[in-house]
Amino acid sequence: MTLNETQKKLCSESTTDYSDLEAVLINTSLKRNPEDSHTRSLLDVVAEIMTRNGVHAEHVHMLSHQVPPGVYPDMTEHGWDRDDWPALWEKIDAAHILVIGTPLWLGEESSVCRVLIERLYGMSGLLNERGQSIYYNKVGGCVITGNEDGIKHTAMTIGYALSHLGYTIPPQADCGWIGEAGPGPSYGDTLEDGRRAGFDNDFTQRNTTIMTWNLMHLARILKDAGGIPNHGNDREKWKAGCRFDYANPEHRV
Reported as a single tens digit per residue, the pLDDT across 32-55 is 998 889 999 999 999 999 999 999
Domain 21-238 CATH class label: alpha beta
Mean pLDDT of 175-190: 78
Four-CA torsion 8, 171, 31, 164, nearest 10 degrees = 150
- Please report, to the nearest 10 degrees, the dihedral formed by the alpha carbons of residues 209, 46, 25, 28 taken in order: 80
What digits encode the pLDDT tens for the residues 137-171? 999 999 999 888 889 999 999 999 999 999 999 99
Could you tell me the pTM of the whole model?
A: 0.90
Task: Give the model's confidence band at 70: pLDDT under 50 very low, under 70 low, under 90 confident, else very high.
Answer: very high
Write the DSSP symbol of residue 91.
Answer: H
Helices (H), 62-126: 85-94, 111-121
CA distances to 74, 157, 239, 251 from 245, rounded to whole Å, are 18, 27, 8, 6
